[in-house]
Amino acid sequence: MISDIGLLTREGMEHFYMVFKDMKHWRDEDWEDPFPDEPFPNKPWGKGAPEMYRKMLVERKLSRINQNEGKGPLIKVRAVAVFDTVGSLGIPNVSFLNHMGLAKSTKEFRLYDTNLSDRIEYAFHALALDEHRPPFAPTVWERTAKNKNTTDLRQVWFPGNHGNVGGGWEDAGMANMSLAWMMDQLASIGVEFDEASIARMIAHLEKTYHKLAEKEDVKLPHPVNKQPRPVGNLEAAAILSGVNPDAGEKAGSESSDGEDGRGCCPGGCCSGLGSKVKSLLFSQKQLHWGVEPFCENSVPVRPWALGALLDTESWMYKLAGHDIRSPGTYKKLDPMTGRETKVFLEDTNERMHSSVRVRLALKGLGLNDQEEWKAPALQGNWRLRKTTVKIVDPIPSSIATWEPVGLIDSVHTSVNKGLKNMLGVYGGGTDAASINTSQAPTTVDIIVEQQRPLEIDAKKGYRWVWEWCGSMKDAPPQRLIVEEPLGPFERQLLRLTGGVPNVYEYAETVKNMDGRKI
């Protein structure tokens, strides 16, 4: 919109609705304008309309194209960061009514333009693999040749439906992953976040799981911490070694196997849960979150990448039909009709989040926990591969943390002292007790430790990619989807919710993943 008409002024914003309607129908020969005199009369239509319309807005001081009262550089958008944007804005498009010619067109509710403008410097888009409702078809962005060097486009696919990617369900375990990813993208261009935000996210999630359990007055088979996880609780040693700090023994050393390795832990860790809680936390079939040994050390908190993938049961959306998403294969739409053309989108720069591979390796559950997750959006077309080819990432692995650890010593000491004062642990005295207290880890120290690069990634010497294995007749131009590496905020989230043993590390030990066809 800014590319077409500039940035509306305060007065221009009073006419936003009419301007937006005009933009949508510039090339619509059958359009009858309900506001022929707003924001001005004799509005241009057809070829050349955008340029003339923009000029007329600027002349009336309803819009601006340049900064500093028109004397500075072009007005641009620093970043657009969105979660699973859909073209129809979720307006139900009921399939059988369409066939009968009875359905109202959703054209009025569609997003105007899904191509990225060269006025956008950064574009970050988290996409949901498991959303299947046709009204929620994804608006996958493309970067045309003219703005390849002006826009940094990053689009990543996550497990889950529309509500799992961006939030909306009570179980926010999956949504937290896409949020942490988005925080990393924004941090990479200078946006600052509150140091304790990840810890608060986890505390809220843990409260939710325990609340569900306590509704049934559940006697959990293992001791669990009913209080929010404190900011300073570093579990690095336990996580890396696979030791359960509560049980004091190797996690998963022995377990009773069930179907597909889903047997419960020794003593049946789920046996104490009421049927309602089992339905909420597991499924109607009482399946477990994944293979051994994660059940024993996680109840009732589901580990990283194994959160619930929830699906709406609304009859209206069921009438709308079923449309499985297809990463890497989306095509351009006709701007006049909204119908798909035969031309693939250009330069979408799609990537796959590592939680996809981890959930598959650990046999996580599918929608509404009804069966094992098989990643239907990838079935038949993509397979996992290891590669040693060097891949350039927008957030280099050399970035160990977003915290200001590189400041001059005096400044860094001042920052640490200020944080210690905030936490009430800095005594300021010269006695031995005060000195020891003043040397306690600060919030920054703790977060730097949690955000540091993963040892397993540094040692393995390869990267994961998804390789096209479908029909070559229907093959898209981009036949390789790279697995997105974890950024500092994501690593912090993983270390605090990865479970024991750590799910990310455990997934690397699962056999037959290299070359696995989905």
Tens-digit pLDDT profile for residues 373-383:
999 999 999 99
Lowest average pLDDT, out of 3-17, 46-60, 209-223, 461-475, goes to: 209-223
Same domain, 239 and 352: yes
Same domain, 286 and 154: yes
Same domain, 59 and 100: no
Domain enclosing residue 23, as ranges: 1-75
Residue 79 is given by DSSP the state: E
Q: What is the pLDDT of residue 227?
A: 33
Same domain, 432 and 515: no
Q: Which pTM was predicted? A: 0.78
Q: How far apart are CA 513 and CA 518, in angstroms?
A: 10
**Segment 226-280, tens digit of pLDDT:** 333 333 333 333 333 333 333 333 333 333 334 444 443 333 333 444 444 444 4
Averaged confidence pLDDT in the chain:
77
Residue 61 has pLDDT above 50, yes or no: yes
Same domain, 63 and 190: no
Burial (0-12, 13-18, 19+ Cβ within 10 Å), 424: exposed
Residue 71 has pLDDT above 50, yes or no: yes
Lowest average pLDDT, out of 96-100, 130-134, 491-495, goes to: 96-100
Same domain, 441 and 381: no
Same domain, 8 and 115: no
Q: For the CA atoms of the chain, what is the radius of gyration? A: 26
Chain-centroid distance of CA 190 in Å reads 19
Q: What is the pLDDT of residue 111?
A: 53
Mean pLDDT of 450-475: 94
Same domain, 45 and 172: no
Q: What is the pLDDT of residue 136?
A: 86
Residue 306 has pLDDT above 90, yes or no: yes
> 357 or 332: which carries more pLDDT confidence?
357
Same domain, 117 and 161: yes
Lowest average pLDDT, out of 201-210, 220-229, 432-441, goes to: 220-229
**Could you say which of 75, 91, 107 is where a domain stops?**
75
Q: What is the pLDDT of residue 27?
A: 76
Same domain, 364 and 510: yes
**Could you say which of 34, 49, 75 is where a domain stops?**
75
Same domain, 125 and 11: no
Domain count, the chain: 3
Mean pLDDT of 98-113: 50
Same domain, 280 and 375: yes
Tell me whether the omega of the peptide bond preceding residue 441 falls within 30 degrees of 0, making it cis. Answer: no
Residues in the chain: 518
- 128 forms bridges with which residues in the sheet? 158
Residue 84 has pLDDT above 90, yes or no: yes
**Could you say which of 32, 49, 75 is where a domain stops?**
75
